[in-house]
Structure 1
Amino acid sequence: MKQSEPANPKNPRLQQNTICIQGSDIAAEISGYADIGMKKEALRLIRRVLAKRRILSEEFGEAVRTIGVFFDFEKWKARLEAAYDRQSRKFKRKTRPYMVEMYGSLGEWQTALQFLSVRKPSSASEIFFGTLQQTASSKAFCLIRWAVFSPEHTSGTTQLRLGSMHRLMSHFVETR
């Protein structure tokens, strides 16, 4: 071993995995700021993410989640739409559920329908909202129960998603 080499050299592959927990440093940072209530710092990062030409789906998801928790979607709608429209098809496919949740929270049901994929739903909220539009309410209630209490969805279901589902369900009951 040469004198200039460290005794325990760092493996770049291992180091990369420990830094990026959620696939993106910025997404992890936004999530951390949101979790401990640091609104200004989260807002600064959200602005930086939405201004980028290419955004990772994890970054966009954390931005939407944080905006839903701390801020008003109405004020951020234009920026989120512009950032979404600039991205690739693959990105749009991955982030569709976030757009459904945003428009559902705003009460723009027709616009939310444009982001649904009935053939290949990618989230519990997408399954739920698609079911409301196509079948009777009893099946929708079964899907809500599955989405909320299913082990694979319980850990990932945030208050924002539960709030969106609640708003969607109340809208469904009002319109029937």
Structure 2
Amino acid sequence: TGQINIDPGGQAQLFNIEDVLVPEGLENLAGFFNNRLKRTEEKLDKVSAQNERLANSLETVIPKFLDQSVNNVQRDIVFGQLKYGEKADVAIADEMKVASETLYSYSAGELAEKIGNENITPQRMGLILRALGIYGDPQFHHEYSISKKTRCQKYKQSTIDEIYRRLQNPKQYGLDVFEVAKAANFIKPQGT
């Protein structure tokens, strides 16, 4: 008959079966979800298109990036070995070779200004670092970031501090007295 008898509290009432099975507003709710589903599908289509464009660009970008970054990757690998005490000399040589001019220039400028000796060039700075054992000290270099920019910023003052520490107590670092004297001679302020 399309109707159902329900007897709450002993009083018979008639309900249409559709009203029971399809509550009021359910059709609107279904429409809402259909719209949401449609919008979601549209978004997924956009994301899919973006992913496709990204994939296409990466096919050309990644090889180019890797070509440009091969030295950085090699340094990361070398420093990973250095962390475990392997190939320390190779790591330091490679690291200093890549960024030596930048590092020496930063440190030389700071040091020259601090002690009033404009004759401290990047080349002399290199000699100072070697004489004081800083150039080849893996522990000293490993404290700094692989990133050239970050390393240089930190390196400026830290290098100067390390130079003075080693000049004041060369025996602690097992340094050759003659080499230390040579470094100290480079660092002397002008006119002294």
Q: TM-score, normalised by structure 2?
A: 0.28
Which of the pair is proportionally richer in strand?
Answer: 2
Higher-RCO chain (CA-CA 8 Å, sequence separation at least 6): 2
Q: TM-score, normalised by structure 1?
A: 0.29
